[in-house]
Amino acid sequence: MLYAVLMSLYDSNMEENVKAHQDYSEIKCNRNTVKLLQVIKQYMYSNGSEELHIIHNQVMSTISLFWIRQERVQSAQSFRDQFTAMRQVCEQLSLTIGQSEQVAKAVLKREVVTKPTTEQFKQAKEEAVEEFYAILFLYMANRQKYGKIIEDMLQEKDIPKKCK
């Protein structure tokens, strides 16, 4: 049922792309909704190939991520879902936003780790990325609605109100 609904929703251009996909006959035979959604997602975000226009797709995804803002009438949950979806697109395109040795070293320094193991360094990088996205999310949230909470959270992390 869901398969038929999905097939009826997209335009003729998307339909042509999906039908031209190498796995389409298997998807159609098994009515595999999950695989169909993966193919649609692949065409939506990368024009059909992970390799085709990858740099352009990375740039556009980065711009989209940094341009989103919580709308006045948008709930925090809805904004979080939108933000998470954009983050997943960036990760799918292998963007390494917030990842660097310098940032990982800062996390390790904050945790007073002087001679980190490879695993500790890897965990520090992952922690830095999570912190990066958390701070980014806070800055993009509706300041009129959540301004005091955001300011308190940023102050708790000892983050300046304005970057210099």
pLDDT in tens, 133-156: 887 888 788 777 777 777 777 677
Does residue 136 share a domain with residue 95?
A: yes
Domain span at residue 31 reads 2-46
- pLDDT grade, residue 58 (50/70/90)? low
Q: Determine the 3-state secondary structure of 41 from DSSP.
A: helix
Residue 77 in this model has a pLDDT that exceeds 80 = yes
Residue 164 pLDDT: 42
User: Can you tell me the distance from the alpha carbon of 22 to that of 138, in angstroms, rounded to the nearest whole number?
Assistant: 42
Does residue 82 share a domain with residue 28?
A: no
14-48 pLDDT, tens digit per residue, is 777 778 888 888 888 888 877 877 777 776 655 55
Does residue 98 share a domain with residue 38?
A: no
Does residue 146 share a domain with residue 103?
A: yes
Does residue 80 share a domain with residue 41?
A: no
Is this prediction's pTM over 0.75? no
Considering its fold, how many domains does the chain have in total? 2
Structure-token match 């890897």, residue found: 122
Structure-token match 């320094």, residue found: 109
87 part of a folded domain: yes
